[in-house]
Structure 1
Amino acid sequence: MAKYIMFGSYCEDVLAKREPYRPEHLQGLKEQKESGVLITIGPTKDLTKVLGIYEAESEAIVRGLVEADPYWKNGIWTEYDVKEWIQAF
């Protein structure tokens, strides 16, 4: 399976705005991790960007996971891009 990198941006006041959606968001990420599709995900220290690494059959699967996430649906993630990644080491 191919690996994919997801780069995204957070909204302003992310800590306050994410609160109602955080439990559902974390549960979804936990399920993705347990299934093996999500390798890792997290914010930059300044809470402006998000980076995720996925292993999936296609880019469409990764985009589907991102767009089904409550952070995307509720504007916590304001934009994102997915690129196939070649892991050198």
Structure 2
Amino acid sequence: MAKYVMWGSYCEDVLEKRTPYRQDHLDGLAKQKELGILITLGPTKDLTKVFAIYEAEDEVTVKELIEGDPYWQNGIWTEYSVTEWIQAI
């Protein structure tokens, strides 16, 4: 399976706005991690960007996971890009 890197942006006032969706978001990420699709995901320290690494069959699968996430569906993530990644080491 291929690996993919996702970079995205958070909305303004993310800590306040994410509250109603946070548990569903975390539950979904935990399920993806259990399935071995999500390698890692987290915000930058300044809470402006989100970074993730996925291992999946294709880019379409990764985009479906991102767009199915409550943070995307409710405007907490405001944009994202996915790029196939080659892990050298």
Q: Give the TM-score taking structure 2 as reference length.
A: 1.00
Q: Secondary structure at the match of 2:18?
A: helix
User: How far is the alpha carbon of 1:65 from its aligned partner?
Assistant: 0.1
Q: Number of paired residues?
A: 89
1:77 is matched with 77
Structure 1 spans left out of the alignment, 5+ residues: none
Percent sequence identity over matched residues? Answer: 72
For residues 32-43 of structure 1, the aligned pairs below 5 Å read 32-43=32-43
Question: Aligned AA for 2:31?
Answer: E
Unaligned runs of 5+ in 2: none
**Other-structure match for 2:54:** 54
- Root-mean-square deviation (CA, aligned residues, Å) is 0.2
Q: Name the TM-score, length of structure 1 as normaliser.
A: 1.00
